[in-house]
Amino acid sequence: MVEVSHASTADHIAAHDNWLRRMPLERVRDGDELWVRREEIFPHLRFLPRTEAYIRSFKAGEVRFTAAGRTLMDLEVATSRWNTTQSPMPTWLTLTSAEAEQRSKKFNFDDLDGVERCFDWHARYTPGAGRIHFWCDRANGLLMIGHVGEKVPD
């Protein structure tokens, strides 16, 4: 017997919401394609140019590519559901926290508007010590992604 997800009614769509939202990522071959299609796949995430080289370095079938992609999608889904008038941050779907105060200064980056901001909030992915650092743009209901890669050493 084979189980097939289907959506013939509004209730079916609601039941398969997470699966449907993650579908576009399943068809991405590698980091180059992920970078090119990032706005389509992650409409609620904006990536600083400093993230491009690491994202493009992902190879097809690589575990870190799959893990980072799933974590980015968890951030996308959480941000898409974010009611910015009721909460200062989305309800996270993955382990997410702020850096310790003594480490937070390592994550001051210029955002896409040239304003320096602290990207000390991060989500983790494994294997290894993968991190996705971001800043919550509450005014626009977006996450600005400032770092994708290994944990920045002390």
Q: Does some domain include residue 82?
A: yes
Q: Does some domain include residue 81?
A: yes
Q: Does some domain include residue 41?
A: yes
The full 3-state SS of the chain, as one line of letters, equals CCCCCCCCCHHHHHHCHHHHHHHHHHCCCCHHHHHHCHHHHCCCEEECHHHHHHHHCCCCCCHHHHHHHHHHHHHHHHHHCCCCCCCCCCCCCCCEEECCHHHHHHHEEECCCCCEEECCEEEEECCCCEEEEEEEECCCCEEEEEEEEECCCC
Tens of pLDDT, residue by residue over 59-97, are: 998 999 999 999 999 999 999 999 999 999 999 999 999
The answer for residues whose C-beta is within 8 angstroms of residue 32's C-beta and 6 or more apart is 56
Q: Does some domain include residue 62?
A: yes
Q: Is 137's pLDDT higher than 70? A: yes
Q: Does some domain include residue 1?
A: no
The number of folded domains in the chain is: 1
Q: Does some domain include residue 4?
A: no
96 or 6, which is more confident? 96
- Provide the pLDDT for residue 16: 56
Q: Does some domain include residue 5?
A: no
What are the structure tokens assigned to 60, written together? 């097809």
Q: Give the predicted TM-score (pTM) of the model.
A: 0.86
Domain range enclosing 106:
10-150
Q: Does some domain include residue 77?
A: yes
Indicate the average pLDDT of the chain: 89
The answer for residues whose C-beta is within 8 angstroms of residue 91's C-beta and 6 or more apart is 78, 81, 82
What mean pLDDT comes out for the span 116-135?
A: 95
Tens of pLDDT, residue by residue over 21-71, are: 666 677 889 999 999 999 999 999 999 999 999 999 999 989 999 999 999
